[in-house]
Structure 1
Amino acid sequence: MRVFLFCFALTLAWPSAAADRITGRAFATRSEVIAPKAMAATSHPLATQIALDVMKQGGSAVDAAIAANAALGLMEPTGNGMGGDFFAIIWDPKTRKLHGYNGSGRSPKSLTLEYFQQKGITDIPPTGPLPVSVPGTVDGWFALHGRFGKLPMKQVLAPTIRYARDGHPVAETVAYYWNRSVPKLSQYPGFKEHFTIGGRAPRTGEMWKNPSLANTLQKLADGGRDAFYKGDIARTIDAYFKANGGFLSYEDLAAHQGEWVEPVSTNYRGYDVWELPPNGQGIAALQMLNVLEGYDFTKISFGSPEHVHLFVEAKKLAFADRARWYADPAFQPAPVAKLISKPYAAQRRKLITMEKPLKEVQPGTPQELQEGDTIYLTTADANGMMVSLIQSNYRGMGSGMTPPGLGFILQDRGEMFVLKPGHPNSFEPGKRPFQTIIPAFITKDGKPFVSFGLMGGAMQPQGHVQIVMNLVDFGMNLQEAGDAPRIQHEGSTEPTGQNTAMSDGGVVQLESGYPYETVRTLMDIGHHVEWALGPYGGYQAIRRDPETGVYYGASESRKDGQAAGY
């Protein structure tokens, strides 16, 4: 009965052959935003306006991205904040190349696998002191600013400081997720005092102030990154965890250092798609694209059974390798070049048949050898610099651990560690956990084409692939590519080593917009199909016209966001 109702709903939702928009874009909720000088796309309109204002004042796209990220920590604390981690890809028009930054923090050095074993803990809890790792965001801000910033950091952070003191009205989606977080996080010291109004979440449109966050940002504006990692902020964090059964220490914060990394890519039908290497999951998108490139999508339409089936099967193959290989490369180097190679994809593609889905998938063996709330933003300036930036506290508002007087919550990214000796992602002191957050970029013929990202745990590489396919295979514009209904497959070998529901092939979850015939065919060949439990992800993107330099922006309808330019 559940599947029948699902199929009936999809039948009603499927658009007719004639698109419902005058421009003929069947899935787009609105037109692309087009501007000649600069563009910003974030998940909150006020953050987008801050980014544009910074660029109007002479700031670079990096200045604008930092300003917007700081604002989102105030305005969308349900997905990010300076207590979390940070990754970015930057197109530098001077060097005409992409630069990657890995701003993920490490586990506390005083916490060991033996501690968990002695306590009988088999999985790291999602909240409280144990999943907390060093926050890498602030270090990332200053690293990017030091290389590509133009305005003083005081000027970059000033808009958020003002909003934190004066207040801003809470957006609808943010209010919804905030309300969901309050019951489970209010048990932790400092959360209720800093992130509720009389014990409840702020409501849609209600003014929200965070004077503690304003004070913390002012300390960064005045004292730089060391004010966070080596000053009073670090000492406050240290004392808080010592008083509340935690392990994160001043020494852990003082030792933190993010790193510049080389982005990696694969070519998909003439377009170079770029991701960052592990400890993130970005190369899963590249592996999926390599497998899918072997099929002729000029003969496969969007939403057809063939489209969904091939996408899901490619995902299964990539995620098996994700579980085996993706971890902190300082502890477990992955054979990245082999995993994203075309010959390896051809080898793995042989496992796919059109007649039935794969039920169980083992990791491949190259020779020589899933939940999370996040923000994604992208900016582009008049000089041609483009920034793809993603930042997160991981699960919702994070661990709930809220040190006094600082105005932010520490992340729970350490939940992603495995408490099994010998596993690539096994917990070790001073190690970076597996990361779900991934920025993306597309170039064509050596020129910047699209800066984009899509939030949502294990959905992120799946979303990246769908955006690329929508643009390249299905001819969608930037807005339509994000608004089109999405596929999410659940049930793969996870970074924890668990083989979740893959004994029967997992579950294909579809947003409304797929035709009944597709659902029926997928079920007939053995897929388990369910109604989407999403919505899946939150997408922002900027495209640059290589001939005119004009920017196109998009921000989808699943979030409160905005793309805008000047």
Structure 2
Amino acid sequence: MRDLHFPGRSPVRATGAVVATSQPMASAAALALLREGGNAIDAAICAAAVLAVVEPQSTGVGGDVFCLYVPGGKGEVIAYNGAGRAPGAAHIDWYEERGITAIASDSPHSVTIPGAIDAWCRLSADHGRTPLERVLAPAIHYAEKGYVVHDRVEADWRETQVLLARDEAAARIFLPGGRAPRAGDVHRQPELAQTLRRIAKLGRSGFYEGEVAEDLVSRLKAAGGLHTLDDFAAAQGNYARPVKTSYRGAEIWQMPPSNQGLTALLMLNLLSGFDLAGLDPLSAARFHLEIEAGRLAYQVRDALIADPAKAKVDIEGLLSNAYADRLRERISPERALELPVRAMEPSDTVYLCVVDSDRNAVSFINSTYWSFGSGLVGPKSGVVLQNRGAGFRIDRKHPNCIAPGKQPLHTIMPGMAMRDGHVLAPFGVMGGDYQPFGNVHVLTNVLDYGMDPQAAIDFPRVFHNRTAAVVERSVPPAVMRGLQQRGHAVGIAEEALGGGQMILIDWEKGTLTGGSDPRKDGLAIGY
């Protein structure tokens, strides 16, 4: 139990169902749908759609989706890959001929074909039980009638004003009166409301064919993009085989490559060889091991993870105990490794999870990547287009080199923890490159230190960002000095690190315990 003398938030406890998202409006809409008889998939899509309106810098219908789903909370983990692909004309030759050596995050070439709507429609049809018109109704309401801008949303929005001002439609919709809305302002997106209505009525064809697709392709072509209506019409996600590892008696599941989920699993494999539970959770010794495991795992990610349909990725070898043992030998509990400098990028994403009364468990993540994605917006549809293609390399020798129909290295990663064939917890921590660190940090808080989901999410965080270990201001000075003594350059993180949600299932007691990150605006809620 938390110390009630200190500020903070208790976990949400319930027996029926729990929803955890980064916005109160999304959590409330999803819970209302569950009370009407909807299931966890319905509620997750409902929440994601609301978030696509009320947290527009983080997510949208012009982005991507990944989902892990366990029907009834036991047995098979179903994984859905809703990641977009490069246009059919995106040949490496085209970029080389024009001297393009990297894909700029604000260029049309950073826009992959959005996968979110295909994923919502497919998951709804296969696993939901509520008509899509009802599922999307709250999002349509907020887009048309307006929603109140929350505090974290304002902070992110304000930092992206320069990007938004470059695009006429983006400026008109997202800089009303010439500036980003303030916390407490009411904002409307009538064009997006019409797009959502069209999707609610027509399903995926309402987005990938007809007037919405035409609007988006026209905008991309005007900016110099290679996208075609055929690319949109052909967009399709797929069910995938999730990847897993074992840690402290639990099975931890993630999406397979080109998703970076394998990075977190490799970190867990490395940390499994250390007695974390014997260390103070808020200590330099613990954070140092976490940092070193992360630095090694990210090297593997950057060199080897790519779309397995277009490049060879040895998943079994990378997750083997032998591979982890070899890497772990490089970690000294007392001294930081000398490793090449890495470029680390933030992103704005929404992660949410739902467990319903039938114990259907959903781990769901939706993103347009960087804040407001590419900054390109469909003028008629109001759709913000993601910039996920900035994750590609312009390098023929690299497995993550851009190619027609290829998925880029993808940072957004939902997690699912299982024990004895039953769901222990859907969980996730958003935040671009920070996500493997965040997933591992929160999970080890639960499995090594016995924290409840809210305490595990609240707990201070560190990250190795480029050349330094960056820490949140809640990390004590003594811990910072301990990291410096181990050879780390240490600085204060510019922003709070990530934002996450988790719902823990106690099968014996029949209870659910949820947590939501105070670094965002949201909450867990249940009944």
Tell me, yes or no, whether TM beats 0.5. Answer: yes
**CA offset digits 1:474-529 (Å, max 9, x no partner):** 121110000000010123xxxxxxxxxxxxxx311111333333322321231111
| Equivalence for 1:431 | 406
Judge which range, 326-335 or 514-523, deviates more. 514-523
Q: Distance in 1 between matches of 2:229 and 2:2?
A: 58
* Aligned sequence identity (%): 39
Contact 1:107 / 1:432 at 8 angstroms: preserved in 2?
yes
1:97 aligns with one of 62, 76, 86: 76
Q: Distance in 2 between matches of 1:408 and 1:76?
A: 13
RMSD between aligned alpha carbons? Answer: 1.8
| Equivalence for 1:326 | 305
| Equivalence for 1:21 | 4
1:534 aligns with 2:509: no
1:30 aligns with 2:9: yes
| Equivalence for 2:202 | 223
**CA offset digits 1:268-304 (Å, max 9, x no partner):** 1101111111101101111011111111123211122
Q: Distance in 1 between matches of 2:76 and 2:93?
A: 44
Question: CA shift at 1:95, angstroms?
Answer: 6.8
Q: Distance in 2 between matches of 1:432 and 1:555?
A: 30
1:126 aligns with 2:100: no
| Equivalence for 2:519 | 558
1:210 aligns with one of 171, 177, 189: 189
Give secondary structure in 1 for the equivalent of 2:524.
strand
Contact 1:60 / 1:150 at 8 angstroms: preserved in 2?
yes
Give secondary structure in 2 for the equivalent of 1:147.
helix
Q: Distance in 1 between matches of 2:519 and 2:334?
A: 34
1:514 aligns with 2:497: no
CA spacing shift, 1:309–1:157, aligned 2, 3 Å: same
Contact 1:290 / 1:345 at 8 angstroms: preserved in 2?
yes
CA spacing shift, 1:86–1:307, aligned 2, 3 Å: same
CA spacing shift, 1:162–1:355, aligned 2, 3 Å: closer
Contact 1:89 / 1:99 at 8 angstroms: preserved in 2?
yes
Q: Distance in 1 between matches of 2:78 and 2:2?
A: 40
In the alignment, structure 2 segments of 5+ residues that lack a partner are none
Q: Counterparts in 2 of 1:436-455, with a 5 A limit?
A: 436-455=411-430
Q: Counterparts in 2 of 1:140-155, with a 5 A limit?
A: 140-155=119-134
Q: Distance in 1 between matches of 2:15 and 2:278?
A: 36
Q: Distance in 2 between matches of 1:360 and 1:244?
A: 39
| Equivalence for 1:417 | 392
Q: Distance in 2 between matches of 1:533 and 1:449?
A: 33
| Equivalence for 2:274 | 295
**CA offset digits 1:370-400 (Å, max 9, x no partner):** 3211011111111110111111111101111
**CA offset digits 1:536-564 (Å, max 9, x no partner):** 00111111111133111111211100110
Q: Distance in 2 between matches of 1:362 and 1:268?
A: 29
Contact 1:189 / 1:403 at 8 angstroms: preserved in 2?
no
1:58 aligns with 2:37: yes
Q: Distance in 2 between matches of 1:304 and 1:485?
A: 11
Q: Distance in 2 between matches of 1:185 and 1:121?
A: 24
Count, aligned residues? 525
Give secondary structure in 1 for the equivalent of 2:351.
strand
Paired letter, 1:560: D
Contact 1:237 / 1:250 at 8 angstroms: preserved in 2?
no
Question: CA shift at 1:404, angstroms?
Answer: 1.9
Contact 1:179 / 1:201 at 8 angstroms: preserved in 2?
yes
1:311 aligns with one of 290, 299, 303: 290
TM-score normalised to structure 1 length: 0.90
1:282 aligns with 2:243: no
Paired letter, 2:524: A
| Equivalence for 1:172 | 151
TM-score normalised to structure 2 length: 0.96
| Equivalence for 1:84 | 63
Q: Distance in 2 between matches of 1:53 and 1:559?
A: 22
Give secondary structure in 1 for the equivalent of 2:502.
strand
| Equivalence for 1:395 | 370
Give secondary structure in 2 for the equivalent of 1:130.
helix
Contact 1:374 / 1:390 at 8 angstroms: preserved in 2?
yes
Give secondary structure in 1 for the equivalent of 2:396.
coil
Question: CA shift at 1:166, angstroms?
Answer: 1.1
Give secondary structure in 2 for the equivalent of 1:405.
coil
CA spacing shift, 1:95–1:469, aligned 2, 3 Å: closer
Paired letter, 1:152: P
Contact 2:501 / 2:517 at 8 angstroms: preserved in 1?
yes
Q: Distance in 1 between matches of 2:228 and 2:146?
A: 32
| Equivalence for 1:546 | 507
Contact 2:27 / 2:525 at 8 angstroms: preserved in 1?
yes
Judge which range, 208-217 or 196-205, deviates more. 196-205
Contact 1:378 / 1:541 at 8 angstroms: preserved in 2?
yes
Give secondary structure in 2 for the equivalent of 1:458.
helix
1:466 aligns with one of 430, 441, 454: 441
Paired letter, 2:314: P
| Equivalence for 1:494 | none
Give secondary structure in 1 for the equivalent of 2:513.
strand
Give secondary structure in 1 for the equivalent of 2:160.
helix
Q: Distance in 2 between matches of 1:72 and 1:521?
A: 40
Question: CA shift at 1:121, angstroms?
Answer: 2.1
**CA offset digits 1:211-241 (Å, max 9, x no partner):** 1111111111111111211222112222222
Give secondary structure in 2 for the equivalent of 1:394.
coil
Q: Distance in 2 between matches of 1:130 and 1:351?
A: 39
Paired letter, 1:40: V
Q: Distance in 1 between matches of 2:93 and 2:14?
A: 56
**CA offset digits 1:47-80 (Å, max 9, x no partner):** 1000001111111100001011010010000100
Give secondary structure in 2 for the equivalent of 1:102.
strand
1:483 aligns with one of 458, 469, 473: 458
